[in-house]
Structure 1
Amino acid sequence: MEYTQLGTTSLQVSRIALGTWAMGGWLWGGTDVEAAVRAIHEALDLGITTIDTAAVYGFGLSEEIVARALREKGVPRDRVVIATKCGMEWDEQENVRRNSSPQRIRKEVEDSLRRLQTDYIDLYQVHWPDPDVPIQETARVLSQLHAEGKVRAIGVSNYGVGEMQAWREVAPLHSDQPPYSLLRREIEADVLPYAREHGIAILAYSPLARGLLTGKFTAEASFPPGDSRAQEKRFQGEEFQRNLRRVEHLKALAAELGKSAAQLAVRWVLDQPGVTVALWGARRPGQIAEAAGATGWHLTDDVKERIERIMRNEAGAA
């Protein structure tokens, strides 16, 4: 496993973090708690010390699973970096909306501390920008939590450059967590350069494009009820077929390197200047084991160019 410093903080993080969205079951067609606990244990055995979760994942369930797994494994608290998120609220019908008001975040941090069975959160992130609450108000309450010792580092997720600039007018900002993968590269235009310039860590989520870049899907793929991938364009119609062809070329290239398509895709993310961490999602044993093969090596310039050709024009690109 590779480790690095989280931006300008003193936190040391594993460059692959375990993503736990799917463990909560929400938008993933349910979950198996016992399997999720074993997956966390597997990640820890690989040397993954950073676990990313959120209050809204399973409406508290994901955080509770993380706490149980760490307790059963007997991991000292200072040996793991727990990152969670706030700024979302839900009702009994599982209707979700953004709420980054200071009052909501004050409540959420206490709820997350209780569910995670800890006295502090290593990295506390605002899940999404809230158009109804001034960013400066949200930033101030996170800064207060940091000063109080409940939060060791302050982060945001899905924030653009303008939103990060507004945040930094009134409070420190240590990280941003945007989507980033071979199939989604918008942050290269602005967020990545801005983060590099200002020492802001980037935690790239969905580097495997919700499983699409693992190479495990076929043209006949289907999803269980409640799995939101069934509504995503990249999993539908001709776009899905085009992505599958790209992945076949990536698999062939990865095989030349003695790697899997997933390992190649995540290594590509880790090798991009400015990326600190890549989140590898898992919800059962075996899904995270492959992550070990994504560390300890780098892409050559030739391989990077071949990947670019595959993504530009999959036909004969490899």
Structure 2
Amino acid sequence: MTNQHDTIKIHNIDKTIVRIALGTWAIGGSSWGGPDDDNAIKTIHAALDNGINMIDTAPVYGFGHAEEVVGKALKGKRDNIVLATKVGLNWDNSGKMFRDSSPKRIQKEIEDSLRRLNTDYIDLYQIHWPDDKTPIKETAQAMEKLRKEGKIKAIGVSNFSTKQIEEFSQYADLAAIQPPYNMFERSIENDILPCAEKHKLATLCYGSICRGLLSGKMNKDTKFTGDDLRKSDPKFQPPLFEHYLAATRDLEEYAQKNYNKSLLALAVRWVIDRYKGNIALWGARKPQQINGVQDALGWQLTKEDYKELDEILAKHIKKNIEPSFMAPPSR
């Protein structure tokens, strides 16, 4: 059950958006154990059935695969959905990624994404990572050109610093940003969130359940195999993994005792209530992973809650580890 605190408007997009959006990185398959298209389509449909009306994807998720799956899943449903994708990562034949936000790359990628997504416009088009080989002015102007042509409705940037956000805003009508943000990864509170508030930018928070760590489903025996990116995340390796698990146990107890909610619902609500422009990205690749979306809506955390939750976090986590290990290389 949603209330007025559970929805948001993004500048230049006319639809009202529920503040939980489906993230589709895992649906692409790469870094998550390979694709499973049948389950992926069911997952997207389950998200829509649970009231989610924004889907965030990217060409690099499975090298085009996630976009194709989203396009298939949204056949006949496109008009009701706010569709967000990204631009600015390229890859070679071996699958090695690198940043490329040149106007030429943007012009090619928009056509590829429109075709894969089976749509004639994208609601929110975001630069995936800053490209230090292309002047921000050129990138921003190329994005603004697409907006004026009607191929995209709104412009966003992902993983940008405040300085880069400020510069980009001089040349394009910026509407949204997308940084990593969750109870364990909070560096954006120092600068990015105040910048978003200053410019009235929507903030799509990726990793809101910290790659499953805040799902309540993990324990000390949880193993990560194959190409699972958590094998290279220090939070999921000993001895730190045990510290984070201890924190999740206390957080889960707090959620249950104070709100009769799951850890998952608490983690997502924590992101939503932190700033009125926040949208929590909920990553899933199986329909059952959508269970609990409604649990995170229809209530709010208080200032006292945030204070007590900070105390729990400080007790177990002595040093915050940000997800910088996920950054793709420059050209």
Report if TM-score (shorter chain) is over 0.5: yes
- The percent of aligned pairs where both chains have the same amino acid is 46
> Is the alpha carbon distance of 1:246 and 1:275 closer, same or farther for their aligned partners in structure 2, counting shifts above 3 Å?
farther
CA contact (8 A) 2:177 2:203 kept: yes
Which of structure 1's runs of 4+ aligned residues deviate more than 3 A? 7-11
For 1:240, the equivalent position in structure 2 comes to: 241
Q: What SS does the corresponding residue of 1:57 show, helix, strand or coil?
A: coil
Q: What SS does the corresponding residue of 2:289 show, helix, strand or coil?
A: coil
CA contact (8 A) 2:8 2:277 kept: no
Q: What SS does the corresponding residue of 1:234 show, helix, strand or coil?
A: helix
Residue 171 in 1 paired to residue 209 in 2? no
CA contact (8 A) 1:8 1:199 kept: no
For 1:56, the equivalent position in structure 2 comes to: 60
Aligned-partner Cα distance in 2 for 1:84–1:271: 24
Residue 45 in 1 paired to residue 46 in 2? no
For 1:134, the equivalent position in structure 2 comes to: 135
- Give the counterpart of 1:270 among 252, 269, 272: 272
Deviation at 1:239, TM superposition (A): 1.4
Aligned-partner Cα distance in 2 for 1:238–1:134: 42
Alignment of 1:62-77 (within 5 A): 62-71=66-75, 74-75=76-77, 77=78
Alignment of 1:1-318 (within 5 A): 1=2, 2-7=6-11, 9-71=13-75, 74-75=76-77, 77-256=78-257, 257-314=259-316
Aligned-partner Cα distance in 2 for 1:224–1:88: 26
Deviation at 1:78, TM superposition (A): 2.3
Aligned-partner Cα distance in 2 for 1:154–1:124: 5
CA contact (8 A) 1:8 1:200 kept: no
- The count of corresponding residues between Structure 1 and Structure 2 is 312
Aligned partner of 2:170: which letter? E
Normalising by structure 1, we get a TM-score of 0.95
Deviation at 1:6, TM superposition (A): 1.2
Q: Please list every run of 5 or more consecutive structure 2 residues that lacks an aligned counterpart in the other structure.
A: 318-331
Deviation at 1:7, TM superposition (A): 4.1
CA contact (8 A) 2:11 2:154 kept: no
Aligned-partner Cα distance in 1 for 2:299–2:84: 26
Normalising by structure 2, we get a TM-score of 0.92
Aligned-partner Cα distance in 2 for 1:46–1:133: 41
